[in-house]
Amino acid sequence: MVFLPGISPAQIQFTTNDLPCQIGQYNDAYIGSNVDVFRYLTLLTNLPSPIGGNTPDPQSWSFSQGQQLSELILRTDIISPAAGANGSYFPSASYAEQDTMEPSSVMGWSYYGFGCQGTNQGRIFYGFDGPVAGASAVGVFVPPTIDIPATVKLGQTWTRSLYWSTLYYEVILVSNYLAASATVDAFGSLSLPGIGTVQALRVHEVHSYTISEVTDPPILFDMHTNDYYYWLVPGVGVAVQVILYGNNVLHPVDMPCTNTVQRLYFASYFTNSIVTGSGNSFPTFSTNLQISLQGTSVVLNWDAFTNSTNYEVDFTTSLSPASWLPLGTTAGNTWTDSMSYTQGFYRVVGTP
């Protein structure tokens, strides 16, 4: 593991300028459920929250392992709101995030924007479109919520609340109320696959949901609380997310999934991961990739990277837009792949 020495809380500051928001940007993440998250959430010391005046020790979080057998690949593209489903419901949004479970299963859209120049309070989350069987897909937040403040520092706190409506089976109108409180509770170095070791702030949010049918009086369906942890990295955005799902306290059920972990391994807009003690950046892509056919196999060879010890080989059938599928990692500078498509594209990404 590579550590970043001498990190102090004052040195790490995240702003909404670090969030991907330009149309055409995208990132890829490994996502899995029912993961052992204890080592990710436990801090190295037992110091209380920095709100009380204590400064916690810098942490070291490693999410650098390669793709696990139980993990899928989630791609997030920054697109125009008009290109997303039901984008007309969010006229003030300046961009949308489109989530696709690779290779081609679109999961939904989230709509965002920022305040006016000079009065920016942070990222504004307007709502979402998430297709669910039997339910209306669109969730318009009332009011739109600032989910990430304009500037985020260690010890900072914020709260927000909102609701949205859902129509089930075209007859049952349901109100979904969310109250959230957030604390930036830790800082340190974060290791990511493909990206390297970076400085990060960890945010812990508590999400309390109250879901009821819109009747007189309302009929309560569900009350539950989720713990949401995420790591903010300058130049990357939200690099890791861990969600712990709480059960319905009114009507407990057997939950098949108790948590979800999502960790970035590639961001199209990030190229400056630095090795400790070196002024050189990791090369992003191979510049001398040679491809040859040997029978029914495709053989790739490339020049070794100066600052990389492993390589990830990706494949796509189209570059418009590109949807890269990781084939695997290797410590060498050659790779053999079965020829299963009539046309395709390869790339090699160096990792620390």
In this structure, CATH architecture of domain 290-351:
Sandwich (2.60)
- How many residues does this entry show for the chain? 352
Q: Are residues 184 and 153 in contact, defined by beta-carbon separation less than 8 angstroms?
A: yes
First CA to last CA distance, the chain: 9
- What pLDDT was estimated at residue 332? 87
Amino acid occupying residue 27: N
- What pLDDT was estimated at residue 271? 65
Nearest Cα to Cα of residue 328 among 26, 106, 69: 69
**196-219 tens-digit pLDDT:** 888 999 999 999 999 999 999 999
| CA 124/CA 21 separation, integer angstroms | 12
- pLDDT over threshold 90, residue 351: no
Q: What value does the mean pLDDT take over residues 245-252?
A: 92
**147-206 tens-digit pLDDT:** 999 999 999 999 999 999 999 999 999 999 999 999 999 999 898 998 888 899 999 999
Domain boundaries, the chain: 9-267, 290-351
| CA 349/CA 352 separation, integer angstroms | 10
